[in-house]
Chain A
Amino acid sequence: MNKISIIIAREFNERVKKKSFIITTILMPLLMLGLMVAPSLMMLFAKGDQKTLLVIDESGVVAPKLESNDEVVFTPFSGSIDQARANEEVFGVLWIGSDVVATPSQVRLYTNSSSSMTLEESIASQIEDVVEAERLGMYNIEGLEDIMNNLQASVSMTTYRNDLSAEGEEEEATSSMVAYLLGLVLGMMLYMFLIIYGSMVMTSVIEEKGSRVLDVLVSSVSPFQLMMGKILGVASVAVTQIAIWGVLICGLGATVLPALMPDDMMQTVEAVQAGQMTALEADMDADMLSALSVATDVSGLVMMFVWLLLFLVGGFLFYSAMFAAVGSSVDSIQDANQLQTPITMPIILALILAMAVFNDPNSSLAFWGSVIPFTSPIVMMARIPFGIPTWQIILALVLLYASVVGMAWVAGKIYRVGIFMHGKKPSYKELWQWIRQ
């Protein structure tokens, strides 16, 4: 055991001292924070100057009803279109054809500089409203406008979960949109960790074998100790990275994010968190608000990180043992590519399953995918944000960690033979013989 810890310490120290590790560990949370904060910062700073548009309305019906706002000021213009276009002090010219009510395509916008999509959409929608109102008026039915307004309905739905509410109090479930995004991020993160850290184990075994350090090491430690030491060493690097990210994101969520947000928005977020109001009642984008309330809910984040760590470590131990076995049986990374396909396939399959899970997090496909060890780490992490029974998570963890033992045993068999094999790349049949030996 002592020897394994010496190996672990070496693996850990060599990796965390690398510049690349330090940089990614610090930059990633900042990047994620940036992604979270960017929308609100854009809302704050993206308001450009007011733009003046000269309006030439040949139909005479639209121009009087156009409303200027923060973004754009409509100024009626009576001259010809060429005169208007000659004026370079304004943002541009809006030309509306005489028969616009019958032919709504008779609208043109000439601009002196590039316009934005939102500006074009807001102008088009104002004109649409006017044209619709004009067309309604042509039916000559009394009170038609009221009838039309009355017909329009907007449904706002709040989702409650019966099985999750503690103490009989109704608890608002996370909005599906936020759960989807969170599941996506967590699933992707696990996928990336399994692939990146798994191949890190493989590469490092290949290097040890190639540089013949292995031949020296095995005279001091058994091959199995060596393999487990490496796997656990790399795992501890992954855990360190995740833990640092966890602390940074929780810390930033609790401090920086509220400070950056406008006060009124934060008050609303707090109200939502406290259950005083639902996200939909607030006069802000509901998904944005739920996202913010998730990002600033420290205890929720901590819980999420605990699950993430448990599945990360389990999934990593499960897969990295096989990565180590493949690394031990080849001489170069090129040779490893083909042999590692059976390992990377289930990981990719898990990611595809995770995508399918978002449609129905409680389907039997989702359940089995998140319980069977080959796919469980990624699929379960994708499901957790939707809120699933704890027993399922525990079941998945128990199965995962139990199969880790079996996986390590099989991998150890391959490893102990593979590290002394040089030259020809072994076939699957030979690998099977090594396991049985």
Chain B
Amino acid sequence: MDLLKIENVTKRYSAHTALSDVSMSVPRGSIYGLLGPNGAGKTTLIRVINRITLPDAGRVIFDGREITDQDIYHIGYLPEERGLYKKMKVGEQAIFFARLKGLSRREAIVRLKEWFVRFGIESWWNRKVEDLSKGMAQKVQFITTVLHEPKLLIFDEPFSGFDPINANLLKQEILRLRDKGATVIFSTHNMSSVEEICDHITLVNKSRNILSGSVDELRHRFGENVFEVTYSGEQATFEQSLEPMADILGTSSVADTPYLCSRIRIKDAASVRDSIATANNAVELRSFREVIPSMNDIFIRAVEGTL
């Protein structure tokens, strides 16, 4: 069952339409990528889910029911633009945010201590936020987002401002939370992180949902029968043998080896086996593998309307 369903949500502002008729389903326990260029409507959609703004039309179904104000206790949201009170002490501040999410003071302290130990930042408890570096503050912010153990976690560009080591730590924590049952929505421009951790995506452009689905399915769907062939032998022989069934996109030599590498597009998906057999007869094959489009390619092609 889906934890979150967006049904035909529309949101208009006086000057423009931020969301028009957007629908999407976020499966329980998934890590869901919400992608789109700047100004596409991602933030508005996230605000609608968080009940910061209410949609003009359409419904948001959370955990089987239409979403209510009470449900935001079960949502943790880390906005892209985020901050903490600079003059406040780290511990007090974390307690403050935890209480706003419905935890009692005592419960908040117990859980915070646990998280602070996990991140190795116990000594920060009584320090003021203004004395922390940006990355340190981000860690505190992450903890305040997940502390109330929400069913749905929404991260907007969570890795910006983190060094690779801490970004990895964060990624491991997000995966761990997913394994414990949380559902995660990711809003990001960073396509490599999408490929790494998202299992589903929705691509929003110009206020509309233009592409939805599982990452693997999408990448295969948008594969264009492009293959990379590594071989030793005559380039001319190879190209002549394949000419009837494939276009040669380019050939280069593989560095430090005697091999050549050609990119070919097979004209008909049904003739993949024939192509391999033909190539095998012509030259000595080393490898023959499909080039799956990266999410980056899919993103660009989808946004430019060339899918």
Residues of A with Cβ closer than 8 Å to B? 3, 6-7, 10, 14, 208, 211-213, 215-223, 433, 437
Question: Once bound together, how far apart are the Cα atoms of A216 and B78, in whole Å?
Answer: 7
Return the contact of A219 from the options B75, B88, B96 (Cβ within 8 A). Answer: B75
B100 at the interface (CB under 8 A from A): yes
User: 1/0 per position for B157-188, CB-CB distance to A under 8 A?
Assistant: 00000000000000000000000000000000
Measured between C-beta atoms, what is the minimum distance from A165 to chain B in Å? 54
B101 at the interface (CB under 8 A from A): yes
Return the contact of B96 from the options A6, A211, A212, A215 (Cβ within 8 A). Answer: A6
Question: Once bound together, how far apart are the Cα atoms of A16 and B100, in whole Å?
Answer: 21
Measured between C-beta atoms, what is the minimum distance from B86 to chain A in Å? 6
Measured between C-beta atoms, what is the minimum distance from B80 to chain A in Å? 8
Measured between C-beta atoms, what is the minimum distance from A431 to chain B in Å? 13
Establish whether residues A212 and B100, one from each chain, have CB atoms under 8 Å apart when the complex forms: no
Chain B 40-83 residues near chain A, CB threshold 8 A: 50, 52, 69, 72, 75, 77-79, 81-83
A219 and B50 contact, Cβ closer than 8 Å, known pairs A3-B100, A6-B100:
yes
A216 and B79 contact, Cβ closer than 8 Å, known pairs A6-B96, A6-B100, A10-B96:
yes
B133 at the interface (CB under 8 A from A): no
Known: A6-B99, A215-B79, A219-B52. 18 other contacts (CB 8 A): A7-B100, A10-B96, A211-B85, A212-B79, A215-B81, A216-B78, A216-B79, A216-B82, A216-B84, A216-B97, A216-B141, A217-B100, A218-B52, A219-B77, A220-B72, A220-B101, A221-B100, A433-B14
Establish whether residues B100 and A215, one from each chain, have CB atoms under 8 Å apart when the complex forms: no
B87 at the interface (CB under 8 A from A): yes
Q: Specify which chain B residues have a CB less than 8 angstroms from the CB of A215 in the assembled complex.
A: 79, 81-83
A-B residue pairs in contact (CB < 8 Å), sample of 15: A6-B99, A7-B100, A10-B96, A211-B84, A211-B85, A211-B86, A213-B85, A215-B81, A216-B84, A216-B97, A216-B141, A217-B100, A218-B52, A220-B100, A223-B52
Question: Once bound together, how far apart are the Cα atoms of A219 and B81, in whole Å?
Answer: 13
Q: Specify which chain B residues have a CB less than 8 angstroms from the CB of A7 in the assembled complex.
A: 100
Residue on A nearest B86 in the bound complex, by CB? A211
A14 and B84 contact, Cβ closer than 8 Å, known pairs A216-B97, A216-B141, A219-B79:
no
Q: Which 3 A-B pairs have the closest CB atoms?
A: A212-B83, A211-B83, A220-B100
Return the contact of B81 from the options A14, A208, A212 (Cβ within 8 A). Answer: A212
Measured between C-beta atoms, what is the minimum distance from A15 to chain B in Å? 10
Question: Once bound together, how far apart are the Cα atoms of A85 and B14, in whole Å?
Answer: 89
Question: Once bound together, how far apart are the Cα atoms of A219 and B48, in whole Å?
Answer: 10
Return the contact of B83 from the options A6, A213, A219 (Cβ within 8 A). Answer: A213
Measured between C-beta atoms, what is the minimum distance from B130 to chain A in Å? 10
